[in-house]
Amino acid sequence: MTQQFEFILTSREGRVGLVQFNRPAALNALNRQLMAETISALEAFDADSEIGCMVLTGNERAFAAGADIKEMANATPAAMLDNPFIDYWDRLRKISKPVIAAVSGFALGGGCELAMACDMIVASESARFGQPEINLGVIPGAGGTQRLTLAVGKALAMEMVLNGRFLSADEAYRFGLVNRVFPVENHLEETLKLANEIAARAPVALRMAKEAVNAIFEMPLAAGLAHERRLFYMLFSTEDQKEGMEAFINKRPANWQGR
Ligand code: CAA
């Protein structure tokens, strides 16, 4: 990737594309440029056949403390409609390869919504999740009321959205918001290990698997089941399906081609 970014850092760790917010003085508050850079980097990794999985992270103190309040304080509804900042969260949803959020410190407001728009969340013990928009006289606007409720249920989501309750990493794990919790010291390393395991799997099946799981959030059960069935059948047209099953039968590791 040759693009130069101001507010993010990008790198490759094997078949994993790493995107790291780099606006520490503002606790990685998500301004327009940071979001544009982040989505552009993720879309470039998504289009790169050498990359199988992506990790989105911040720093020890903050994943991201939300949308940039200073940037939007004087906005009007018409200005927001004309300049659809929140579309960046929709573009994250459309990334076809798995994206893991590695969350340490604050994941608040739009930051929590960004983590929830990823496919998995790996937290460090210092992670704090919250939707404190009510304290600003607004509500979550990038999926918080919907994805949080689907993840943790109505009772807790209401408390977080109505009263700004934060969840610790341990609570987030117990309520099903995050996949794993690691000590701060090896959190990113462990997340990259998990991401590399995923990235080593059959590439086409990985994308279909992500699409199939996400279907539950987008369509009624009968349509989701039919969609899953079509994706399952479709995979029998790939070389990797033939390879995977032959490798199993012959008791050898599969050698994926991504086609
Ligand atoms: N936007 C802009 N700047 C922010 C910010 C944000 N969301 N969060 C933190 N910052 C800035 C602070 O203004 C401060 O900058 P200065 O040094 O220039 O004053 C710097 O980051 C450090 O922050 P604090 O001094 O406040 O640090 P703290 O440790 O005392 O508090 C905090 C940490 C509890 C996270 C606090 O910063 C905070 O409450 N931040 C706002 C969280 C929030 O309300 N997020 C929701 C935003 S709205 C949204 O996201 C809408 C949506 O759904 C899309």
The answer to whether the pTM exceeds 0.75 is: yes
CATH class for the region spanning 8-199: alpha beta
C-beta of 108 in contact with ligand 1 (< 6 A):
yes
C-beta of 113 in contact with ligand 1 (< 6 A):
yes
From 21, 27, 128, give the residue whose CB has the most ligand 1 atoms within 8 Å, as the site to mutate.
27
For residues 186, 189, 190 and 196, what is the CA-based torsion angle, rounded to 10 degrees?
A: 180
pLDDT, mean over the chain: 96
Closest CA to 67 of 88, 81, 82: 88
Task: Assess whether 109 carries a catalytic annotation.
Answer: no
The full set of domain ranges for the chain reads 8-199, 203-249
Residue 193 pLDDT: 98
Residues 163, 167, 173: CA angle, nearest 5 degrees: 145
Beta-sheet strand order (sheet of 62-64): 62-64, 106-108, 128-130, 167-168
- Same fold for the domain at 8-199 and the one at 203-249? no
So what's the architecture of 203-249 in CATH? Orthogonal Bundle (1.10)
Instruction: Please determine, for residue 1, whether its predicted confidence score (pLDDT) is greater than 80.
Output: no
**Predicted confidence band of residue 84 (pLDDT cuts 50, 70, 90):** confident
C-beta of 58 in contact with ligand 1 (< 6 A):
no
**Predicted confidence band of residue 83 (pLDDT cuts 50, 70, 90):** confident
Residue 2 pLDDT: 55
> How do residues 108-147 score in pLDDT, each as one tens digit?
999 999 999 999 999 999 999 999 999 999 999 999 999 9
**Relative to the CA of 68, which ligand 1 atom is closest?**
1
> How do residues 179-200 score in pLDDT, each as one tens digit?
999 999 999 999 999 999 999 9
Closest CA to 87 of 22, 44, 35, 136: 35
